[in-house]
Amino acid sequence: MKFTSFIGIDISKLDYDVAHLDVNGTVVDTKKFSNNSSGFRSMLSWIKKSSATEQLLFCLEHTGVYCLGICVFFEEYGLNYSLQSGLQIKRSMGIQRGKNDKADACVIGKYAYLNRNEIDCYRLPSRIILKLKQLVSYRERLVKSNVALKIAAKELKAFTDKDMHGYIVSDSQEHIKHITKSIIEIDHSLKQIVAEDPALNRMFKLITSVKGVGLHIAINMIVVTHGFTRFKNWRKFSCYCGLAPFEHRSGSSIRGKTKVSHLGNKKIKAIIGNGIASAIQHDPEIASYYKRKLEEGKHKMVVMNAIKNKLISRVFAVVKRGTPFVPLYQHI
What string of pLDDT tens digits covers the 332 residues of the chain? Answer: 788 899 999 999 999 999 999 999 999 999 999 999 999 999 999 998 877 667 899 999 998 889 999 999 999 999 999 999 988 999 888 888 888 999 999 999 999 999 999 998 999 999 999 999 999 999 999 999 999 999 999 999 888 888 888 899 999 999 999 999 999 999 999 999 999 999 999 999 999 999 999 999 999 999 999 999 999 999 999 999 999 988 888 877 777 788 888 888 999 999 999 999 999 999 999 999 999 999 999 999 999 999 999 999 999 999 999 999 988 765 44
In a domain, 250, yes or no: yes
On the 0-12 / 13-18 / 19+ scale of CB atoms within 10 A, 11 is buried
- Closest of 79, 109, 83, 107 to residue 7, by C-alpha: 109
Domain match, 234 and 315 both = yes
Q: Which of 65, 85, 114 is the last residue of a domain?
A: 114
Tell me, yes or no, whether 316 lies in a domain.
yes
148 and 94 co-located in one domain: no
Task: Kindly state whether residue 142 falls inside one of the protein's structural domains.
Answer: yes
**Is this model's pTM higher than 0.95 or not?**
no
Tell me how many domains the chain contains: 3
Per the structure, the complete domain to which residue 73 belongs is given by: 5-114
Is 210 within the bounds of a domain? no
In angstroms, the Cα distances linking 277 to 62, 81, 237, 287, 311 are 34, 41, 21, 9, 12
Q: Is residue 102 part of a domain?
A: yes
Judge if 191 and 239 occupy the same domain.
no
Q: Which residues contact 15 (CB under 8 A, 6 or more apart)?
A: 32, 33, 34, 35, 39
Same domain, 237 and 310: yes
Residue 148 and residue 89 share a domain: no
Does the residue 96 lie in any domain?
yes
103 falls within a domain? yes
Residue 39, domain CATH? 3.30.420.40
Alpha-carbon dihedral 38, 44, 46, 51, rounded to 10 degrees: 180
**pLDDT at residue 250 in the model:** 81
pLDDT of residue 49: 84
pLDDT at 257 (0 to 100): 82
238 plus 299 within the same structural domain: yes
161 and 64 within one domain: no
Per-residue pLDDT at 256: 79
Q: What pLDDT sits at residue 259?
A: 86
- Same domain, yes or no: 168 and 101: no
Q: What is the pLDDT of residue 329?
A: 62
Those residues with Cβ within 8 angstroms of residue 171's Cβ, 6 or more apart along the chain or in another chain: none
Q: Under DSSP, is residue 243 helix (H, G, I), strand (E, B) or coil? A: coil
105 with 182, same domain: the answer is: no
With respect to residue 56, please indicate whether it lies within any of the assigned structural domains: yes
Residues 228 and 192 in one domain: no
